[in-house]
Amino acid sequence: MNTTFQQLNDCWRAEPDGPSPRVEWRGNDLRLTFFMNPQQLPAEGDEELGEIIFEDCARYRIGILNDEGWHRGQGRWTEIPHEWGEFYEVHGDLRLEAVPNDWHVRDSEISDRSHFLFYFRDQDFECDARDWTLNVIKTSESAEVAE
């Protein structure tokens, strides 16, 4: 079975030099937060955070593959054409035998979920969830919420 990648991000990316992404469980949903690339979304003076909500997430992992390792072919899909820093839904052979056993599991049943992959500067993120939604948050708004 071949592996295919369906690119999900259109006109947005993560900040290429941004700090590590954060994850947080809210019930069965997983929230992945990261800095957005200001070159692709006009920030109008404020930095923007991307928040992807993975609905009914069964499991996730954050690996240590960085961009240098990816360009050297150290990732499990580096020979298949796709781009560093993009967000994908992966179909077909997930090559799970090549992944460290570092999953954070909420539900062991993943056959009815989609597999998502996102490459960040120093980490790769994967999860199995039913669906996803992107929210863009201005950092000034998130600071107001935190007060």
Q: What's the whole-number mean pLDDT along residues 6-35?
A: 91
pTM for the whole structure: 0.85
SS (H, E, C) the chain: CCEEEEECCCCCCECCCCCCCEEEEECCEEEEEEEECCCCCCCCCCCEEEEEEEECCCEEEEECCCHHHHHCCCCCCCCCCCCCCCEEEEEECCCHHHCCCCCEECCCCCCCCEEEEEECCCCEEEEEECEEEEEEEEHHHHHHHHC
Say whether pLDDT at 144 is over 60: no
pLDDT for residue 147: 40
Q: With CA atoms as reference, report the closest residue to 129 among 102, 106, 97, 95.
A: 106
pLDDT tens digits for range 38-91: 876 554 556 789 999 999 999 999 988 777 777 777 777 766 767 777 899 999
Burial of 127 (0-12, 13-18, 19+ CB in 10 A): buried
pLDDT for residue 125: 93
pLDDT for residue 88: 94
Q: What's the whole-number mean pLDDT along residues 102-118?
A: 92
One-letter amino acid of 9 = N
Residue scoring higher pLDDT (1 or 12): 12
Q: Tokens in use for 16? A: 């290429």
Residue scoring higher pLDDT (25 or 73): 25
Q: What's the whole-number mean pLDDT along residues 21-32?
A: 96
pLDDT tens digits for range 112-136: 999 999 988 788 899 999 999 999 8
